[in-house]
Structure 1
Amino acid sequence: MLRILTGLSVCMLAFIVIICILLQSKPRLRPIQLSYKFIKVREDINLTGPTINPIPDEVNWLEDLMEEVDPVCNGSNPFVLAIVPSAVHHFKEREGIRNTWAHPGLYPYTKMRAIFVLGATDNFTLQDEVNLEMDAHHDIIQNDFLDTYRNLTYKTISMLSWVKNWCLDTPFIAKIDDDVVVNPLHLVAYLQTHVTKNKSLSAIHGHLRSNSPALRNGKWAVSKEEFPPSRFPPFMLGPAYIIGRNSIDRLLVYSSYVPFLWLEDVFLTGLVAHAAGVEHIQVEKILYTKKLSRQLYKGKVAFYPGASEKNKKNAWAGIIKYSRITKLLKKKK
């Protein structure tokens, strides 16, 4: 009897050890399997009256990637296209993104591609460096407006125009600033869950800000001439938000009928989205963190905006460690 009890105890102990190991082990990374069909809604939008914002008709590209042998969207149809507004001189930031969350080795596991949107520069030496970067990476589109902070709305509208023409069947467009750390696996997992609930994909997902005052002083100040009301309509904070592909064409059309405002997030996701009837989905507590947190690599958080260089490295190291993607990042680009 004692031998039987001893044997049972040993078996039970072994069973407990195995369970503990399984619970503590890292998830196995597998190529993404998309079992849905994106439904592109085609609608005729007929607005009457004079347009008051000429920017959509003034989009002119210095580089649009359309002569590439391997187009960004057509042919590969990524699940998510990340469009990253970037200052012309931000070479380090762009290279950091290429080597982390937008690394080509991750594509089978995320179906996400990234392109960078630049404005123009009157510095010929700087432009020569950008031209070399374009030739090396084939992931930059550049418009002819001057690249300044107050021209961010131009960048946003130009990116909508580019997507409308060249990414017809990409379900999600993620606008992500070049100082945001992204966990692409968590982002895609969230969007996969969403797409099973609503295949029309016409909303904007992000950190929703409601009832925000229109500041009259400081970095983001707007004058009463620029924006008379005292408060902004609900809008998504600019560092990172996701637009369902079916709302892109609608937002672009309505942007011509909304007075220009240089605060791009307020303009596009607030004023234009309200005029176009595009829904907001609040995901602040699901996808965003304000500090370095384990939720970025062990939970569901996908965006860490405004991280310091040190925290960027630590955050990505955590994502790599938990997700087992080190070998993928060593593959040839």
Structure 2
Amino acid sequence: MHTQQDMEVKLLKGYSWKRCSLAQDKGPLRCHIKKGFILLLTLTFLLSAIVYFSDFTLKTTAPPPGTWYKNVVNQIRSFYMSIEFPYGRDNQAIFIASAPTPKTHQQVQQRATQISKQTTDISVHYHIAHPSNYHYILDEPDKCQESPFLVLMVPVAPHQVEARNAIRSTWGNESTVQGKAVMTLFLVGLTGGSDSEKAQQQLEEESRQHRDLLQSNFVDSYFNLTIKTMVIMDWLATRCPQASFSMKVDSDMYLNLENLVTLLLAPNTPRQNYITGMVMWNRPVVRNKNSKWYVSEESYPEPIYPTYLLGMGYVFSNDLPEKIVEASKEIKAFNIEDAYVGACVKHLGITPSSPPDPSQFRAYLGQYKREDFLRVITTILGSPQQLIDIWKDVKRAT
């Protein structure tokens, strides 16, 4: 039974101290063991926290060299750097990387929420994993059984249902063009935020309804667009190698498939090592840290990018995806996905081709004129509804 004195001890000195004083009735060692155990747990927690946050904060907030903190971090990092990775440390993701498949949907969403908070800061040191370090949550592995002539791969944010539906009702609805089979697929990553579980359920329902949705376990964010593009290449290489051509086309694009298929069927269009679109030559690397296109010298040391295709829409012979994936094992990734693909293509000794009529790949057409949209292959639009309206007018009988 507790005495009045014990109650005063509890109030004045705290419950944990009282338990320690009472434990001394059974021997003084028990109190010391408990203190040591608590100290050990505290030290373990602090070391774990140091490991977790050091990559994000050491460069900007670390104490001066020689401090106890940095010595501990260096020892932990030395252990980490001794671990072998399959594709070299420069190609390891600071995100999900090659972690085992999450056991539950809830774990996937919790991880996505945690990581999305980390990827909002442009100062995060950016690495990318080889696409084999990711797996597909939603997949259509048998989609290419009929050997399509052209596969359209659309990277899109998970929440952009309106954009997907607009494409499904316009150019994405065309399955045969000039007698050639055409197929459209959408690729999304993981959602983050408090409503991520609901968003994931909606994606799964959309996938069951349309059978055109692919999802991989990277966090869907602007800074992960290179990962997204490389997962597209991986899917084409592993799930659809029998296609003749493929195209990476953004979700805000107008696409004239008649003109595109005409280009691909032309006798002078190569069937291998071919990639074309809006060609970017001698583009300088942006070093302004306030720019969304900033790339550090550590990520890409050269001042000028290799020749690449603007990511709004470029088409390529379908032998290239596997080669680009292989090249990505050797090329350190950076967060400008179009230029990164250009770096991989350069590594392969392949030069992007200018289209026969470069004016068919347009960034913007300005004020709507039907004859312009009848002539182009791609151009950027302002909204999903604009795509629907223009498509109806272009397709109307004359």
Q: TM-score range by the shorter chain?
A: 0.7 to 0.9
Deviation track 1:298-326 (CA, whole Å, cap 9, x = no partner) reads 32x1101243456424431332125x8xx
**1:204 equivalenced with 2:284 (yes/no):** no
Letter in 2 for 1:89: H
Please state whether the residue corresponding to 1:256 is helix, strand or coil: coil
- Structure 1 residues 64, 309: closer, same or farther in 2, change over 3 A? closer
Residue number in structure 1 paired with 2:348: 276
Please state whether the residue corresponding to 1:92 is helix, strand or coil: helix
1:86 maps to which of 150, 156, 159:
156
Unaligned 5+ runs, structure 1: 1-48, 325-333
Q: Is the 8 A contact 2:282 2:305 kept in 1?
A: yes
- Structure 1 residues 262, 185: closer, same or farther in 2, change over 3 A? same
Q: Highest relative contact order (Cα 8 Å, sep 6+), 1 or 2? A: 1
Q: Is the 8 A contact 1:296 1:303 kept in 2?
A: no
C-alpha distance in structure 2 between counterparts of 1:138 and 1:181, whole Å: 22
Please state whether the residue corresponding to 1:280 is helix, strand or coil: coil
2:393 maps to which of 301, 311, 318:
318
1:286 maps to which of 360, 383, 392:
360
Distance apart, 1:278 and its partner CA:
2.1
Please state whether the residue corresponding to 1:221 is helix, strand or coil: coil
Deviation track 1:208-260 (CA, whole Å, cap 9, x = no partner) reads 11111111232212122222222211111111001111222111101110011
Spell out the pairing of 1:87-102 with structure 2 (5 A cutoff): 87-102=157-172
C-alpha distance in structure 2 between counterparts of 1:213 and 1:303, whole Å: 25
Letter in 2 for 1:307: G
Please state whether the residue corresponding to 1:223 is helix, strand or coil: coil
Residue number in structure 2 paired with 1:191: 264
C-alpha distance in structure 1 between counterparts of 2:280 and 2:382, whole Å: 20
Q: Is the 8 A contact 1:289 1:305 kept in 2?
A: yes
**1:141 equivalenced with 2:211 (yes/no):** no
Residue number in structure 1 paired with 2:284: 213
RMSD (Å) for aligned C-alpha atoms: 2.2
C-alpha distance in structure 2 between counterparts of 1:176 and 1:141, whole Å: 15
C-alpha distance in structure 2 between counterparts of 1:297 and 1:109, whole Å: 22
Letter in 1 for 2:143: V
C-alpha distance in structure 1 between counterparts of 2:270 and 2:347, whole Å: 23
Identify the structure with the greater helix proportion: 2
**1:73 equivalenced with 2:144 (yes/no):** yes
Residue number in structure 2 paired with 1:7: none
Distance apart, 1:185 and its partner CA:
1.1
Please state whether the residue corresponding to 2:224 is helix, strand or coil: helix
- Structure 1 residues 121, 141: closer, same or farther in 2, change over 3 A? same
1:225 maps to which of 284, 293, 298:
298
- Structure 1 residues 106, 96: closer, same or farther in 2, change over 3 A? farther
Aligned pair count reads 266
Deviation track 1:110-166 (CA, whole Å, cap 9, x = no partner) reads 521100001012410111111110010000110001111111111111111111111
Of structures 1 and 2, the larger Rg is shown by 2
Unaligned 5+ runs, structure 2: 1-86, 92-128
Identity rate of aligned residues, in percent?
A: 25
C-alpha distance in structure 2 between counterparts of 1:65 and 1:134, whole Å: 9
Residue number in structure 2 paired with 1:173: 246
Q: Is the 8 A contact 1:183 1:296 kept in 2?
A: no
C-alpha distance in structure 2 between counterparts of 1:112 and 1:296, whole Å: 23
**1:129 equivalenced with 2:202 (yes/no):** yes
- Structure 1 residues 216, 297: closer, same or farther in 2, change over 3 A? same
Could you state the TM-score of these two structures normalised by the residue count of structure 2?
0.63
Residue number in structure 1 paired with 2:189: 119
Please state whether the residue corresponding to 1:88 is helix, strand or coil: coil
C-alpha distance in structure 1 between counterparts of 2:177 and 2:155, whole Å: 21
Please state whether the residue corresponding to 2:322 is helix, strand or coil: helix
